[in-house]
Amino acid sequence: MGRNAEEVGAPLARAAASSYWSESEARAVLEAYEESGLSVAEFARRHGLGPQRLRWWKKRRREEASPERSFVPVHVAAPPSREERETAAGAASMEVVLARGRRIRVEPGFDADALARLVRALEEAC
């Protein structure tokens, strides 16, 4: 059975007034949208939401649920030695793609501990 109008209305009002949606706000908006049976454009218009943002969150939810993508934990055993860093001058950089689609380009000789801190901070920010 559907939720009552007050339960649905408060998160939608907050989302409409905000330029940023938290995970919980986005989840509430998406659930209300899915229960409505309306098109994205009509639902957004009725609730004062930007249809682009609603489409972005729908896409993100679909990508997170997609079984074709999976992430494998990576552990850097040891940072390269100074000699390895100096001889790696012609080596290619590496790009790390995080769960939310953020990308970090890592150059040869990177500091593994600093990268680990950065990844943790970026993942906690969402």
pLDDT tens-digit readout, 33-62: 999 999 999 999 998 988 999 999 898 888
Which DSSP state fits 92? P
The average pLDDT across 80-87 equals: 72
Percent of the chain at pLDDT above 90? 15
Name the residue with higher pLDDT: 77 or 96.
96
Give the integer Cα–Cα distance in Å for 61 and 22.
Answer: 13
Give the integer Cα–Cα distance in Å for 125 and 45.
Answer: 29
The average pLDDT across 116-125 equals: 78
Q: How confident is the model at residue 67 (pLDDT cuts 50, 70, 90)?
A: low
The reported pLDDT for the residue numbered 37 is 92
- Above 80 in pLDDT, residue 64? no
What is the pTM (predicted TM-score) of this model? 0.47
- Above 90 in pLDDT, residue 80? no
- Residue among 11, 5, 39 at smallest CA distance from 23: 11
Q: What is the mean pLDDT of the chain?
A: 78
Cβ atoms within 10 Å, residue 119: 16
Q: Which two tokens stand for residue 10?
A: 């408060």
The reported pLDDT for the residue numbered 46 is 92
- Residue among 16, 43, 11 at smallest CA distance from 27: 11
Helix ranges restricted to H, the chain: 5-17, 23-36, 40-47, 51-65, 82-87, 112-124
Give the integer Cα–Cα distance in Å for 85 and 104.
Answer: 19
- Above 50 in pLDDT, residue 1? no
Q: Which residues contact 101 (CB under 8 A, 6 or more apart)?
A: 63
